[in-house]
Amino acid sequence: MVRGELRLTAGKAAVQVAHASVLLTRQAEARAAREFELWWAGGQRKVALVVPTLRDLEEVERRARAAGIPTVWVEDAGFTEVPPGTRTCLGLGPAPDSVLDPVTGALDLL
């Protein structure tokens, strides 16, 4: 999920979402082998969403953690569009749709 108020260019948003996907993949391989294998075998489905503000994204993180969904923040290095350390993106998963949908189902697609 990307922070909407940052108004990142399409390319920058794509790279931030890719960072989250890679970080979550590495985590899942190490900590949740069963969920990782199911996700991998199922085609590695990914969905890119936009959340209006950092505060909204932090609320999504709280709800995701409460549901047992793995989370990861992407903080930008600050070389291009945003200052160093800016939280640009929150990644979730892998997790079954039945667990993710109550947390993310009302969010807009990127």
Strand-pair partners of 103: none
Rounded Cα distance, 108 and 2, in Å: 10
pLDDT, tens digit, 9 for 90 and up, residues 8-25: 999 999 999 999 999 999
Instruction: Read off the pTM.
Output: 0.89
CA–CA distance, 7 with 16 (Å, rounded to integer): 13
Number of structural domains in the chain: 1
Q: Which of 30-34, 70-74, 94-98 has the lowest mean pLDDT?
A: 30-34
Measured CA to CA, the distance from residue 75 to residue 92 in angstroms comes to 15
CATH number of the structural domain spanning residue 56: 3.40.1490.10
Percent of the chain residues past pLDDT 70, beyond the cut: 100
Q: Which is nearest to 90 in space by CA: 109, 71, 64, 70? A: 71
Asked if pLDDT for residue 33 goes beyond 90, the answer is no
